[in-house]
Amino acid sequence: MDVVSPELNSLLPDEIMDTEAIEDIPHSQSDGTTVQSEPDEDTSVPMETDTPVASESGFCSDATSAAQSLITSTDSTLSITTTKTTDSVTGTSITTSGLQKLSAPFTISAANHQIILNKVASSQATEAAKSAGSPQVIKQEGQKLLVTAIGKSGQPIVLQLPHTGSKAGVAQTSGDTKSQTPQFKVVTIGGRSELKPVVGSSTNQVTTLQAQQLKTVQIAKKTPASSAAPIKFIITKTVNSKGLSPQSSVSPVIAGRVLTQNSPVMPARTITLTEPHNTSIQSIPGKKIAISPLKTPSKVTVVSVASPTPSAPQKSVTLPVNVALGQQILTVQQSTSASPVKVATSQTTAQNIKPVQSVTVGGVSGSQFKTIIPLATQPNVQQIQVPGSRFHYVRLVTATTASSTGQPSGPSTSSIPTAKPMVVSTGAVRMSVPIVPAQTMKQVAPKPLTSTAQVVTATQTQQRLIMPATPLPQIQPNFTNLPPGTVLAPAPGAGNVGYAVVPAQYVTQLQQPPFVTLASSSGFQASAGIQTQARLPLNGYCDCFANGEFCNNCNCNNCFNNLEHETERLKAIKTCLDRNPEAFKPKIGKGKEGESDRRHSKGCNCKRSGCLKNYCECYEAKIMCSSICKCIGCKNFEESPERKTLMHLADAAEVRVQQQTAAKTKLSSQISDLLMRTTPVISSGGGRLPYTFVTKEVLEATCECLLEQAKRAEQTHQPQAEAERMILEEFGHCLMRIISSAGKAKVDCASINC
DNA sequence: GAGTTTGAAACT
DNA sequence: CAGTTTCAAACTC
């Protein structure tokens, strides 16, 4: 069975912005429940990367709603440890972030394509969230969320879920949506076009998923069929592991749904697979399960499976979940529903409390997709970096209430003491801010901060400015010492304030107001008062905007493409993406699969230029027109003589320019060298005088002196020889004066005046 | 630098 | 989907 795609990451950089459809996973379900696919009608929301979360009983049933769809879990206990693995081949660092002890519910905003791993402590807040759009309130109990990254091409991703240990005597049916059964939620982020959960036996055989207590949420990017390599997400579960447990008995009952969406910016698809009937299988302590790399036979991954908790033989069973990212294995220990689930790789077993989780997807160049989810107690900030996209986001999430259920943050968790409480609107406050070009974000790693701030540091050198996530004009803490890329989480109980550090390129726009008020959810809704987008200079005509950048030092008039009008800007972006989901994607991308050459994503439509002028986007990009171009009279093809001639001329011109540049450089170098060699060696003992001392004034003065001497000789009727002698003598005097002046480091014409 | 040409994007 | 409009960059003089 082809369960692993060798290409995993090739499609990520340019396309990770999209959270597109995942394949519907055919599951044979005993209860007859078929996997449902949500209509692909969700409104695309710009600059957002969803992190969908499924629940056992809820999912985005109203995926068509353009409004906010909030999925709120009130009882879920989530804990995923940030893990980081490194691809041994490419060195790509893939960080699998986890959710840390999320005693808090989480909220998914379908409209803004944000997952708010946040606390919604009160039902009112939930209701408020519901009222905000088309919410989904999910009661989750004992739910486990696994956020994993699909970031490496050619590497299989295997989630191996052993049987969960259910409570003795607890019979669960497929319709029991409030099952206490622990469940896995697998959140994948990446351009997976396929998701194939399979059930793996203890003998490492991978079979079709029959019955799992598994929930899979995948933020998959539906890549163009032409270029998207099939990526298969494999979720395996050890079933009927005779060697592990004689009690293995599988009750393949799956009650699940698959929420699919194809829009790049749609809310995430949710695959919910529940297994009401749980077996009491436990893993043998220390048992190692080898996960076949399948298509990567050279890679053999052995996963250490955690042993069940001895103290909880039945009700608290430690269940291993092994996630293999190629050679990377993510081992997940699942406890009972009442216990937090901690997901950790074998490499990072003691990172169960991280102030910030990081989800890294992609990794072609090691600097691709990173999502920072600070979740220690108040997961208010998500930093997302989208590979290939020029957008990177710091997602500022404000909890509706300061939940008392929040666990104390980890040792590395800190807050901003100066963050004052602020007026918090009902519902989550979200904000996405492009923070850094994709090329500059190299790595995101949790980093302790010496100050009071919780920090996620991206290895950036750009200057940044901190912005409050919510209107907070009165707060101006001193963040000058914060490192770049800092994301500050609000202090528990100190108000719902999140801070994001933005790159220097946006700082200039913030200099007028030190802190820019970022729209809250309510404010964002209210900001819809912008009548028409046409009134805004935020349109496709502006290259800055089209490039996903703020305007800076351009000639815009009445420009709204700045942080001061972030709300309008976001709305404009949303409008553009609604109109064209590809609006902010690079026009020049890879060609079809197998084609190495670049090509225009849409093709040009030139009519008069013959595609041989810079009017043509293909020609401008120095690529030839392709079959998708709709140009008329195209001459921008391989054998075109006009093109060859033009290229020849262009090359010749370029050569000339290079030659001229080289000549100028050489001349400049020579002049500089000459100046260096003629640098005066001024010393009391003499030395070579610089000719620079013989200025024009000096020469003129000297000449005047000589002429004056000549006049004297003439007036006194001196013989010519005597006249010459007098002149030479005067010249000698002049030279002496020049030398004297040079010795004093003075160039004073007056000193040699006669 | 002003005016013209051009084609992409928006708009209808 | 096609035609029109708007716009800014490219180009020409």
Helix/strand/coil (H/E/C) assignment for every residue in A358-371: EEEECCCCCCCEEE
Q: How high is the pLDDT of residue A250?
A: 37
Residue A601 pLDDT > 60: yes
Nearest DNA or RNA nucleotide to A537 (CA to C1'):
C7
Residue whose pair of structure tokens reads 């890679």 in the numeric block: A299
In whole angstroms, what is the distance from residue A366 CA to residue A153 CA? Answer: 12
Residue A654 pLDDT > 70: yes
Q: How high is the pLDDT of residue A329?
A: 33
- End-to-end CA, chain A: 104
The DSSP secondary structure of A158-198, one letter per residue, reads EEE-PPP-PPTT----TT-TT--S-EEEEEEEE--SEEEEE
Q: Between the CA of A191 and the C1' of C10, what is the distance in angstroms?
A: 37
The DSSP secondary structure of A557-598, one letter per residue, reads SS---SGGGHHHHHHHHHHHHHH-TTTTS-SEEE-STT--SE
Token pair of A672, please? 């500089």
Residue A145 pLDDT > 60: no
Q: How high is the pLDDT of residue A698?
A: 84
Of chain A, the percentage scoring pLDDT greater than 90 comes to 0
Mean pLDDT of the residues in chain A: 48
Give the residue among A457, A337, A373 at the shortest CA–CA distance from A82. Answer: A373
Average pLDDT estimate for A280-292:
35
Residue A437 pLDDT > 80: no
A558 touches strand C (CB under 7 A): no
Residue A115 pLDDT > 70: no
Of chain A, the percentage scoring pLDDT greater than 70 comes to 23
With contact defined as beta carbons under 8 Å apart, do A225 and A193 qualify?
Answer: no
The sign of the dihedral angle between the CA atoms of A516, A399, A113, A462 is positive
Query: Coil, helix or strand for A31?
Result: coil
Amino acid (1-letter code) at residue A599: R
In whole angstroms, what is the distance from residue A699 CA to residue A706 CA? Answer: 10
Residue A693 pLDDT > 60: yes
Average pLDDT estimate for A139-153:
38
Q: How high is the pLDDT of residue A546?
A: 81
Strands (DSSP E) along A538-679, which ranges? 588-590, 598-600
Residues β-bridged to residue A333 = A320, A342
Average pLDDT estimate for A386-411:
38
Residues β-bridged to residue A501 = A466
Residue A638 pLDDT > 60: yes
Q: How high is the pLDDT of residue A152?
A: 34
The sign of the dihedral angle between the CA atoms of A698, A699, A704, A706 is positive
Q: Between the CA of A608 and the C1' of B5, what is the distance in angstroms?
A: 9
A535 touches strand B (CB under 7 A): no
With contact defined as beta carbons under 8 Å apart, do A323 and A155 qualify?
Answer: no
Residue A499 pLDDT > 70: no
Give the residue among A156, A144, A160, A146 at the shortest CA–CA distance from A87. Answer: A156
Token pair of A97, please? 């972030």
Q: How high is the pLDDT of residue A405?
A: 37
A534 touches strand B (CB under 7 A): yes
A511 touches strand C (CB under 7 A): no
A382 touches strand B (CB under 7 A): no
Residue A459 pLDDT > 70: no
Q: How high is the pLDDT of residue A61?
A: 35
Give the residue among A125, A129, A142, A143 at the shortest CA–CA distance from A53. Answer: A143
User: Is A696 or A285 the better-scoring residue by pLDDT?
Assistant: A696
In whole angstroms, what is the distance from residue A551 CA to residue A569 CA? Answer: 11
Nearest DNA or RNA nucleotide to A613 (CA to C1'):
C10
Among the ranges given (A440-454, A583-597, A657-671), the one the predictor scored with the smallest mean pLDDT: A440-454
Give the residue among A141, A145, A177, A146 at the shortest CA–CA distance from A58. Answer: A177
Residues β-bridged to residue A446 = A456
A537 touches strand C (CB under 7 A): yes
Cα A559–Cα A562–Cα A568 angle in degrees, nearest 5: 80
Average pLDDT estimate for A624-649:
85
Residue A705 pLDDT > 60: yes
Residue A639 pLDDT > 80: yes
With contact defined as beta carbons under 8 Å apart, do A182 and A337 qualify?
Answer: yes
Q: How confident is the model at residue A602 (pLDDT cuts 50, 70, 90)?
A: confident
Half-sphere exposure of A27 (CA within 13 A, CB side): 38
Residue A216 pLDDT > 70: no
Q: How high is the pLDDT of residue A594?
A: 52
Q: How high is the pLDDT of residue A486?
A: 35
Q: Between the CA of A555 and the C1' of C12, what is the distance in angstroms?
A: 23
Q: How high is the pLDDT of residue A592?
A: 56
With contact defined as beta carbons under 8 Å apart, do A257 and A31 qualify?
Answer: no
Identify the H or E element spanning A669. Answer: helix A641-677
Nearest DNA or RNA nucleotide to A616 (CA to C1'):
B7
Residue A652 pLDDT > 50: yes
Residues β-bridged to residue A146 = A186
At residue A527, φ and ψ (nearest 5 deg) are -65, -10
Q: How high is the pLDDT of residue A433?
A: 38
Residue A481 pLDDT > 70: no
Q: Between the CA of A538 and the C1' of C7, what is the distance in angstroms?
A: 12
- Bases of strand C lying below 7 A from some protein CB: 6-11
A429 touches strand C (CB under 7 A): no
Residues 612-631 of A with CB under 7 A from strand C: 613-615, 620
Amino acid (1-letter code) at residue A611: C
Q: How confident is the model at residue A543 (pLDDT cuts 50, 70, 90)?
A: confident
Q: How confident is the model at residue A451 (pLDDT cuts 50, 70, 90)?
A: very low
Residues 604-633 of A with CB under 7 A from strand B: 604-611, 613, 615-617, 631
Q: How confident is the model at residue A90 (pLDDT cuts 50, 70, 90)?
A: very low
Q: How high is the pLDDT of residue A646?
A: 82
Q: How confident is the model at residue A70 (pLDDT cuts 50, 70, 90)?
A: very low
Biggest CA pair distance of chain A: 138
With contact defined as beta carbons under 8 Å apart, do A324 and A160 qualify?
Answer: yes
Per-residue model confidence as pLDDT tens digits over A33-51: 333 333 333 333 333 333 3
Per-residue model confidence as pLDDT tens digits over A295-304: 333 333 333 3
Residue whose pair of structure tokens reads 């290229």 in the numeric block: A647
Residue A722 pLDDT > 80: yes
Sheet with A319-325: list strands edge to edge. A206-208, A194-200, A232-236, A157-160, A319-325, A328-334, A342-345
Residue A707 pLDDT > 70: yes
Q: How high is the pLDDT of residue A538?
A: 56
Per-residue model confidence as pLDDT tens digits over A362-371: 333 333 333 3
CB atoms within 10 A of CB A725: 14
Per this entry, what is the length of chain A?
754
Per-residue model confidence as pLDDT tens digits over A315-367: 333 333 333 333 333 333 333 333 333 333 333 333 343 333 333 333 333 33
DSSP 8-state assignment for residue A133: B
Residue whose pair of structure tokens reads 């409050």 in the numeric block: A468
Per-residue model confidence as pLDDT tens digits over A229-284: 333 333 333 333 333 333 333 333 333 333 333 333 333 333 333 333 333 333 33
Q: How high is the pLDDT of residue A537?
A: 47
